[in-house]
Amino acid sequence: MNEKRFIHEAAREIPVRAEVDILVVGGGPAGIMAAEAAADKGLKVMLLESRGYLGGNLTIGLPILGFLGHKGYQIIKGLPQQFIDRLRARGAASEHRPCALHMSLTIVDAEEVKRTALEIMREKGVEVLMYVFCADVIKEGDNVRGVIIESKAGREAILAKTVIDCTGDGDVAFRAGVECRKGDANGGMQPPTLMFCMKGVDVQQLRDAIVQHPDRYDMDTMPPEQFRSGKFITVGLRNQIREAQEKGYQIPVARTILITGLADDEIWVNMTRVNGVDSTRPESYTYGEIEGRKQIYEVQRYLKDFVPGFANAHMEKVAPFLGIRESRVIVGKYVLTADDILHDRRFPDAIAVAGYPVDIHHAQGGDCTLYWCDDCYDIPYRCLLPKHVGGLLVAGRCSSMDHEAMASTRVMSTCMALGEAAGRAARLALEAGVAPADLDVATLREELRRTGAYLRD
CB 182 to ligand FAD: min, Å: 14
Question: Residue 170 — left, alpha, or beta (φ > 0 → left; ψ -120 to 50 → alpha)?
Answer: left
Tell me which of 396, 403, 420, 454 binds ligand FAD, using CB under 6 A: 396
Site string for ligand FAD, 189-228 (x = CB under 6 A): ---xx-----------------------------------
Q: Is 28 in the site for ligand FAD (CB under 6 A)?
A: yes
Which lies closer to ligand FAD via its Cβ, residue 193 or residue 226?
193
Strand 127-130 versus strand 45-49 pairing type: parallel
Which lies closer to ligand FAD via its Cβ, residue 32 or residue 434?
32
Position 402, amino acid: D
Q: Is 167 in the site for ligand FAD (CB under 6 A)?
A: yes
Give CA torsion, residues 249, 250, 254, 259, to 10 deg. Answer: -90
Compute CA 387 distance to the chain's CA centroid, rounded to the nearest angstrom.
23
Q: Which of 6, 36, 5, 22 is nearest to 421 (CA)?
A: 36
Which lies closer to ligand FAD via its Cβ, residue 378 or residue 420?
420
User: Which range touches ligand FAD (CB under 6 A), out of 12-20, 164-172, 196-204, 235-243?
Assistant: 164-172
CB 130 to ligand FAD: min, Å: 9
CB 247 to ligand FAD: min, Å: 26
Q: Is 49 in the site for ligand FAD (CB under 6 A)?
A: yes
Site string for ligand FAD, 267-296 (x = CB under 6 A): ---x--------------------------
Q: Which segments of 86-220 are extended strands (E)?
A: 97-99, 103-106, 127-130, 133-140, 143-151, 154-165, 180-182, 196-199
Q: Is 325 in the site for ligand FAD (CB under 6 A)?
A: yes
Distance separating alpha carbons of residues 299 and 118, to the nearest angstrom: 34
Compute CA 113 distance to the chain's CA centroid, rounded to the nearest angstrom.
14
Q: Is 108 in the site for ligand FAD (CB under 6 A)?
A: no
CB 375 to ligand FAD: min, Å: 19
Which lies closer to ligand FAD via its Cβ, residue 53 or residue 347?
53
The torsion angles phi and psi of 171, rounded to 5 degrees, stand at -60, -45
Q: Is 420 in the site for ligand FAD (CB under 6 A)?
A: no
Q: Is 229 exposed, middle or buried (0-12, 13-18, 19+ CB in 10 A)?
A: exposed
Residues β-bridged to residue 129: 48
